[in-house]
Amino acid sequence: MNKYPLLEIDRDVIRRNAGILLDECRKRGVEPFAVLKGFNALPGIVDTIVKAGYRTLASSRLPHLAAVKEARLPVDTLGLRIPMLSEVCEVVRVCDISLNSELETLRALDAAASGAGVIHKVILMRDLGDLREGIFESERFVKTACYVERELKNLCLYGVGTNLTCYGSVIPTVKNLSELAANAADIERLIGRKLAVNRNALFSDAVGVHSAALIPWHTGAAYYMGLAAAVYPLYHFTIGDLYYNFMGIICVASIYVLTFTGWDRFIPLFGLPEEPAVRLKKVEERAYRVEEEMLSSPN
């Protein structure tokens, strides 16, 4: 007997919508990762996403990725949160790929991968102002990438990436993502090969750059929410190829109304976020010196 309230999930709709977005990405040379956190990695939906054609499943929660491994699904797993030193063995066990920005952690992952007899893929993160994760300086970023490639034998430098529109609310722009692209080109030139994940960014970053060229910056979030809701629908409705995209209709309609009427200027407190003036300078300088010493000493 059913108990209420009851949430019914139409997996056919999710599979169809996820497949449409996947096809649209691949037409443009983009290979998206499917993130499990939004639906708590429910097994039925995970299976549906895999059947839609996604090759990599990602989550910031290691138990989600452990469940994927236990289910023996034909996909790679990606850890979206930079690892703690205390969990490097678990990361190597349940993640095929992880995001990283600290040399000490990279060395620990290399040791754990060596002990497990595997090659672990890493995406090196660059901080472009959001203050969430990554290496700040371009030179040190490139130098660390070369160190991983040449010195850490059980790690594979899989690619480079960044995280925006998160902790510091720094929006993606052509300028800041072009800086990451330039770093990637320098790394590829120095290591003599192409990176598998080149200029990786969050879906919201890519959408932000696209939408910023079309609409005012502060409506980019609504634009992104509309696309996200296309896969995980909230209400029975049909628009275009995607089914039940009720939130998308609201978001797109609000964009048109706010933009063409000029009413967006009446919405208060729309200002670009600024980086905090207070910095832990001594801590930053000490951490920087430690990493410089590690980079200059392979052992």
Cα torsion 19, 20, 23, 25: sign: negative
Token readout for 240 is: 């275009």
Q: Does residue 66 sit in helix, strand or coil?
A: helix
Given 37, 143, 153, 194, the catalytic residue = 37
Q: Does residue 25 sit in helix, strand or coil?
A: helix
Q: Does the N-terminal peptide bond of residue 5 adopt cis geometry, omega within 30 degrees of 0?
A: yes
Asked if residues 168 and 175 have their Cβ atoms less than 8 Å apart, the reply is no
Under DSSP, the state recorded for 217 is G
Q: Is 27 a catalytic residue?
A: no
Asked if residues 111 and 78 have their Cβ atoms less than 8 Å apart, the reply is no
Radius of gyration (C-alpha) of the chain in whole angstroms:
21
Q: Enumerate the active-site residues.
A: 37
